[in-house]
Amino acid sequence: MAKILTSKNGTKKEVIIQKAALLFKSKSYTAASMRELAETLGVEAPSLYNHIGSKSELLQAICFKIGNKFSVQIEMIENSSTTIIAKIEAIIRFHIHTMLENFDEVYVANHEWKHLQEPFLTDFLNIRRNYEKTLVNLVEAGIEQNEIKKTNPYVAVLTILSAVRGLEFWQRNKKNVSQQVLEDDMVNHLLNGITA
């Protein structure tokens, strides 16, 4: 049978991970089988083990790639010198960009992290907790400096993160609304509301 196409997508392992993300997204991690994954690569299941260690390693690779991407970015934004509102806006826009560019992997990291094994599960949750904490601190600082209304910072962060995460469901409407409108309108909604 044919070999795994490597093309310009990086090493064979990376190609497998990418296909795994697509499959895990559409069928969920547990329901997706290694035989199915192999089929999308034009190969028998045992052949995959020449390139990867295990099924759960694939999930780990996906989750930590995305987790680290967000961690790195929020640190950069945190240390930049602008207003707090501008920082929050930058974070929202980063979420939207990353979501639309790495759709499958972000989706899987958001939905399937539950199936990570220890100690990876704990590590992943810590990354997320740190991310959220950074954001909460930012909102708190914004309130102190009168850039942001008095509001519960945990609720505000939950609202923002949940809203951007909802882009998972965007696909269907992609045709009708440009990414720029999507981005601008969502930023504006989350910062300034929709009441006329």
Partner DNA sequence: ATAAAAAACTAATAAGTGTTAGTTTTGTAG
Partner DNA sequence: CTACAAAACTAACACTTATTAGTTTTTTAT
Using CB under 8 A, list all residues that contact a second copy: 27-28, 30-31, 85, 111, 114-115, 139, 146-149, 151-152, 154-156, 158-159, 161-167, 169-170, 173, 176-177, 181-182, 185-186, 188-196
Distance CA 137, CA 153 (A): 8
**Least separation, in Å, of the C-beta of 3 and DNA?**
4
Binding partner of residue 192 among a second copy, DNA, none, CB cut-off 5 to 8 Å per kind? a second copy
Distance CA 57, CA 49 (A): 11
Best CA proximity match to 34, nearest among 6, 56, 10, 11: 56
**Nearer residue to a second copy within complex by CB, 3 or 129:** 129
Does position 114 interact with DNA (CB under 7 A)? The reply is: no
Does position 46 interact with DNA (CB under 7 A)? The reply is: yes
Which position among 34, 88, 108, 127 is part of the footprint of DNA (CB under 7 A)? 34
**Nearer residue to a second copy within complex by CB, 43 or 138:** 138
Alpha-carbon distance values, 14 to 25, 68, 157 (Å): 16, 17, 33
**Helix 120-144 to helix 84-101 angle, to the nearest 10 degrees?**
150
Distance CA 136, CA 153 (A): 6
**Least separation, in Å, of the C-beta of 89 and a second copy?**
10
Does position 115 interact with DNA (CB under 7 A)? The reply is: no
**Helix 12-27 to helix 55-78 angle, to the nearest 10 degrees?**
90
Does position 45 interact with DNA (CB under 7 A)? The reply is: yes
- The Cβ of residue 111 has, within 10 Å, a number of other Cβ atoms equal to 14
Does position 26 interact with DNA (CB under 7 A)? The reply is: no
Alpha-carbon distance values, 188 to 92, 94, 174 (Å): 10, 15, 19
**Least separation, in Å, of the C-beta of 168 and a second copy?**
8
Which position among 26, 28, 40, 49 is part of the footprint of DNA (CB under 7 A)? 49
Binding-site ranges for DNA (CB under 7 A): 1-4, 12, 32-36, 38, 43-47, 49-51, 54-56
